[in-house]
């Protein structure tokens, strides 16, 4: 099974997983046929995280938590805000972390990802609860996962998938600021689940129920009915429009339509989280959206952010790397996805000012059928992401970039980049060295992978 994961390109990782990839012939010989049909990449493949292997087994049982729930959960630092609804695939190669998460899986299956403050260096006090739903221990296949889940022998390596479910606030935090690296290993923390405020339509008490049958019909008629409803209240219609959730949803839907993202959540809270996950935002804006309890306010902030055109720049030297209009979806999870080792990337059809480093590799590719090559900022040689190239000529797109969300920073298109403060510069220099180390780690195969095959 391990061989399938670390596909070497002869067989093509696209043999697994099905979808559009399977419908065509995957044999390399077919690449030479001149009349082969173009095949769009099946974006559900990336969302299935098949590079993690097929040894993951489902864990049963779900916890139902409500706002105000307090509890002690193992937490670990993340490099940014993860919003509820996002999938979090993780590979823990540290024995301590693996033991902690296996204990959690035997219990309520919950752990927390701590969100850093806007500088990325201190604990913000916010985080997201994640619930494990698939696990494999020790990279030994389904049986290993089962055994590990029962805790009969402590695994050294655990890979698992979790789903972010609730925002939380840490309790009993020290008054002074705490560096985020204090939580680089799993450790317990007391947390409280934050409320998600849903506002109903403020015109509802004023509206005539007898006209309800007409309301869903057509937008112009609906607007006239709303103005009739508003006429009997002290406020004009535009005040109610501010709270009109459907209007905001339409703006968001129109915006993501250009990125071929059609399945926009219906419900206000899920929509506000989904939008936050899929917008290319600075750490500061993401944290601001995360900290808000009111879904409607979050949506307002997002609509405002959508109106702001921006470019993505290298976070070390601020040179332009990509433009927001080139963002597109390579995963059914959205234009942005979390991958193992807490890497989250945004996919771009093209990038500028990048230089490739090292040879292309298909090992553990997040996008089956594509090889990856490390992409550096051409100006300062900081790692910004990866370029993915199709292994077959008929696969579309042939090439795209996956940019690390925390290595590129959005900047407003209009004004020139403000000079970075001296403190940030020295920090970014430190980060640059750490990044090179991380980029090597990200794709490193699990420690025990080779021994088992």
The residue ranges that bind Zn ion (CB under 5 A) are 314, 316-317, 377, 379-380, 382
Tokens of 152: 């009969």
- Decide: 424 and 318 in contact? Cβ < 8 Å: no
Which residue, 276 or 382, has its beta carbon nearer to Zn ion?
382
Which residue, 334 or 410, has its beta carbon nearer to Zn ion?
410
Buried b (16+ CB within 10 A) or exposed e, 238-253: eebeeebbeebbeebe
Which residue, 73 or 377, has its beta carbon nearer to Zn ion?
377
**Shortest spacing between CB 311 and Zn ion, in angstroms:** 13
**Shortest spacing between CB 420 and Zn ion, in angstroms:** 11
Which residue, 236 or 358, has its beta carbon nearer to Zn ion?
358
**Shortest spacing between CB 32 and Zn ion, in angstroms:** 40
**Shortest spacing between CB 287 and Zn ion, in angstroms:** 23
**Shortest spacing between CB 52 and Zn ion, in angstroms:** 31
Which residue, 34 or 418, has its beta carbon nearer to Zn ion?
418
Which residue, 314 or 345, has its beta carbon nearer to Zn ion?
314
Which residue, 159 or 316, has its beta carbon nearer to Zn ion?
316
**Shortest spacing between CB 65 and Zn ion, in angstroms:** 42
Q: Cα-flanking dihedrals φ and ψ of residue 413, to 5°? A: -65, -40
Which residue, 254 or 355, has its beta carbon nearer to Zn ion?
355
Which residue, 77 or 382, has its beta carbon nearer to Zn ion?
382
CA distance 182 to 165: 24
Which residue, 73 or 283, has its beta carbon nearer to Zn ion?
283
**Shortest spacing between CB 353 and Zn ion, in angstroms:** 8
Residue 46: name the closest of 13, 80, 78 by CA: 13
CA distance 314 to 403: 10
CA distance 325 to 311: 9
Which residue, 65 or 417, has its beta carbon nearer to Zn ion?
417
Assign 3-class secondary structure to the chain.
CHHHHCCCCCCCHHHCCCCHHHHCCCCHHHHHCCCCCCEECCHHHHHCCHHHCCCCEECCCCCCCCCCCEEEEEEEECCCCCCCCCEEEEEECCHHHHHHHHHHHHCCCEEEEEEECCCCCEEEEEEEEEEEEEEEECCCHHHHHHHHHHCCCCCCCEEEEEEEEEEEEECCCCCCCCEHHHHCCCEEEEEEECCCECCCCCCHHHCCHHHHHHHCCCHHHHHHHHHHHHHCCCCCHHHHHHCCHHHHHHHHHHHHHCCCCCCCCCCHHHHHHHHHHHCCCCHHHHHHHHHCCEHHHHHHHHHHHHHCCEEEEECCCCCEEEEHHHECCCECCECEEEECCCEEEEEECCCCCEEEEEEEECCCCCCCCEEEEEEEECCCCCEEEEEEEECCCCEECCEEEEEECCCEEEEECCCCCCCCCHHHHHHHHHHHHHHHHHHHHHCCCCCCHHHHC
**Shortest spacing between CB 322 and Zn ion, in angstroms:** 13
In sequence order, what are the beta bridge partners of 438?
Answer: none
């Amino acid at each position: 099974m391990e061989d399938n994961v670390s596909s070497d390109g002869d067989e093509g990782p696209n043999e697994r997983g099905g979808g559009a990839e399977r419908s065509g012939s995957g044999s390399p010989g077919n690449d030479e046929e001149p009349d082969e049909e173009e095949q769009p990449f099946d974006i559900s493949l990336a969302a299935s995280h098949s590079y993690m292997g097929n040894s993951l087994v489902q864990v049963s049982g779900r916890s139902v938590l409500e706002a105000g729930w307090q509890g002690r959960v193992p937490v670990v630092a993340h490099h940014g805000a993860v919003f509820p609804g996002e999938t979090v695939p993780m590979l823990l190669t540290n024995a301590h972390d693996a033991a902690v998460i296996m204990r959690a899986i035997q219990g309520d299956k919950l752990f927390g990802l701590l969100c850093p403050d806007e500088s990325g260096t201190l604990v913000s006090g916010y985080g997201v609860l994640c619930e494990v739903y698939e696990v494999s221990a020790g990279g030994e296949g389904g049986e290993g996962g089962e055994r590990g889940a029962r805790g009969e022998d402590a695994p050294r390596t655990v890979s698992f998938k979790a789903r972010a479910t609730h925002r939380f606030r840490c309790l009993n935090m020290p008054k002074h600021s705490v560096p985020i690296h204090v939580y680089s290993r799993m450790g317990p923390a007391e947390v409280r689940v934050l409320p998600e405020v849903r506002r109903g339509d403020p015109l509802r008490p004023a509206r005539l129920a007898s006209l309800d049958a007409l309301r869903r019909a057509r937008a112009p008629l609906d607007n006239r009915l709303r103005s009739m409803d508003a006429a009997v209240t002290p406020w004009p219609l535009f005040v109610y429009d501010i709270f009109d959730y459907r209007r905001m949803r339409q703006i968001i839907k129109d915006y993501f339509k250009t990125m071929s993202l059609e399945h926009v959540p219906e419900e206000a809270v899920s929509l506000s989280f989904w939008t936050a996950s899929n917008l290319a935002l600075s750490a500061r804006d993401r944290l601001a959206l995360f900290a808000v309890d009111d879904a409607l306010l979050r949506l307002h902030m997002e609509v405002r952010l959508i109106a702001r055109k921006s470019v993505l720049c290298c976070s070390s030297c601020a040179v332009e790397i990509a433009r927001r209009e080139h963002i597109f979806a390579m995963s059914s999870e959205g234009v942005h996805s979390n991958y193992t080792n807490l890497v989250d990337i945004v996919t771009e059809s093209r990038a500028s000012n990048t230089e490739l480093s090292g040879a292309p590799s298909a090992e553990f590719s997040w996008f089956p059928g594509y090889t990856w090559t490390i992409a550096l900022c051409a100006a300062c040689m900081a790692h910004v992401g990866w370029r993915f190239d199709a292994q077959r000529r008929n696969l579309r797109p042939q090439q795209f970039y996956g940019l690390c969300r925390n290595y590129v920073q959005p900047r407003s298109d209009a004004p020139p980049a403000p000079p970075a403060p001296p403190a940030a510069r020295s920090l970014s220099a430190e980060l640059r060295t750490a990044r090179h180390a991380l980029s090597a780690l990200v794709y490193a195969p699990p420690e025990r992978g080779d021994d088992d095959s």
